[in-house]
Amino acid sequence: MNLPKLRAADIRPLPMTDGQPFANSRYFTYGDYKLHYRIDEAKGKEKAKMFMLHGFMCNTEFFNELVEDYTKAGIKCVRLDLPNFGYSVRESNDIKYVPQTEMILALMKELDPDGTGWILVGHSMGGSVALETAMQDASQLRAVILNAPMFMANFPKSIGKMLIKKPVLNAFDTMIKYIADYDILFKVMAFFMTFGPLYSLKMDANVMSGPFKMEHTGYGLCFMSYRASKPDTSNLAKQLADVPTQLVLGGLDMFVLPNVAANLSKALPADADRQRIWLGGHCFLQNYHKTTSKMGLKFLKDRGIL
């Protein structure tokens, strides 16, 4: 895939994401977009590199536990805040749209000068984005791991256009600012996503709520929903034929419907590794991170990647 070359004038900082939220924070500018990502170095000798994409309403903090497990195993982890989430830019009418898969491929290429390739990990909405990225250009990938992938809906054009009307944008912005101050809402959300009562109670709500306090988060969610698309998996087995793929599902997942999970499993290559964490909710990779990483590491070792 040939990515367009951007002029220096096209690359500029956006004031809303200035500063470093974390010690390992970095920013990638691409056109009007400024994307926040973090690099977690492997502990000991680096054996592989992993590129991680979070789900809807999440951010790089979502992978905290999993990153700890994988870096201990010698895997360098790069976790990205997708557009409109975490500490990345919020889309608006003032931003010239670029598909997120294009930016992801460009960032992966920039961070892989030796061309050794990536293990691409996606959870929930991030799993959908990971699939789209892999189907668009799998040449940079050594493997794909899909954790509870959830496809976004294709909004009818009429509804989509309503989402980006000024009154709707302002309404969403006001609502997000209001709920961001109520930690209990995010803890309740975490419970239904993990079915882990102790994990939810102990969780620092700011892990989820912090980025929601950024300006125009409501705008970003509306534009993201307007532009979201469901991947076409009709030719998926052929497109991922040369990419080792793992699918991990949660037995108590309330969001990935059984028929959707079954259809995706059927669409994947016949040799794909299919796993299930029976007591896991949609976000099993948080409270069942050790099981998740154990499955992932075994898969990567079995395929000769580690």
pLDDT above 70: percentage of residues in the chain? 94
Average pLDDT score, the chain: 92
Q: Give residue 19's pLDDT.
A: 60
Q: Give residue 7's pLDDT.
A: 35
* 96 lies in some domain: yes
User: Does position 156 have pLDDT exceeding 90, yes or no?
Assistant: no
283-293 mean pLDDT: 98
122-146 mean pLDDT: 97
111-116 mean pLDDT: 96
User: Does position 31 have pLDDT exceeding 60, yes or no?
Assistant: yes
CATH classification at residue 283: 3.40.50.1820
Lowest mean pLDDT, pick from 16-25, 143-152, 198-207, 251-260: 16-25
Looking at the 3D structure of the chain, how many domains does it have?
1
Beta strands 245-250 and 118-123: pairing type? unpaired
* 131 lies in some domain: yes
Structure confidence by residue, pLDDT tens digits, 196-230: 999 999 999 999 999 998 999 999 999 999 998 88
* 179 lies in some domain: no
Whole-number Cα distances in Å, 279 to 149, 253, 254, 282: 17, 9, 12, 10
Whole-number Cα distances in Å, 145 to 77, 217, 240: 13, 28, 12
* 291 lies in some domain: yes
Does the CA dihedral 175-176-181-183 come out positive or negative? positive
Q: Give residue 160's pLDDT.
A: 85
* 217 lies in some domain: no
* 224 lies in some domain: no
Structure confidence by residue, pLDDT tens digits, 162-191: 999 999 999 999 999 999 999 999 999 999
pTM over 0.85: yes
Burial track 80-92 (b if 16+ CB lie within 10 A, e otherwise): bbbbbbbbbbbbe
* 15 lies in some domain: yes
Domain region containing 98: 8-153+231-302
* 253 lies in some domain: yes
User: Side chain identity at 239, as an amino acid letter?
Assistant: Q
